[in-house]
Amino acid sequence: MQTVPAKNIVFKTQSPDAWFGIDYNMNIYRGCSFGCIYCDSRSDCFQNPDFDTVKVKENALEIIRNDLRRKAKTGVVGTGAMSDPYNLLEEKLKLTRNSLELINAFGFGASLITKSDLITRDIDVLKDIKEHSPVIVKFSITTADDDLCKTIEPNAPSASRRFEAMQILADSGIFCGVMINPMLPYITDTEENLIKILQTAKDVGAKFVFTFMSMTLRSGSREYYYDRIPSQIKEKHMKCYGVRKHCPSPKAKKLWGVLAAECERLGLLYDMRAIVHGYKSGYSDNQLRLF
> What is the pTM (predicted TM-score) of this model?
0.94
Pairing of strands 24-26, 11-12: antiparallel
CB 249 within 8 A of CB 282: no
- Interior CA angle at 47 toward 44 and 51, to 5°? 90
pLDDT tens string 199-235: 999 999 999 999 999 999 999 999 999 999 999 999 9
pLDDT tens string 81-104: 889 999 999 999 999 999 999 999
- Structure confidence at residue 285 (pLDDT): 55
The residues spanned by each domain of the chain are 2-280
Give me the residues paired with residue 55 across strands.
Answer: 2, 30
- Structure confidence at residue 16 (pLDDT): 59
- Structure confidence at residue 17 (pLDDT): 63
* Range 209-231 burial, b when 16+ CB lie within 10 A, else e: bbbebbbbbbebbbeebbeebee
What pLDDT tens digit does each residue of the chain (291 aa) get? 799 999 999 999 977 566 899 999 999 999 999 999 999 999 999 989 899 999 999 999 999 999 999 998 999 999 998 899 999 999 999 999 999 999 999 999 999 999 999 999 999 999 999 999 999 999 999 999 999 999 999 999 999 999 999 999 999 999 999 999 999 999 999 999 999 999 999 999 999 999 999 999 999 999 999 999 999 999 999 999 988 999 999 999 999 999 999 999 999 999 999 999 999 998 875 443 332
CATH topology of domain 2-280: pyruvate-formate lyase- activating enzyme (3.80.30)
CB 90 within 8 A of CB 115: no
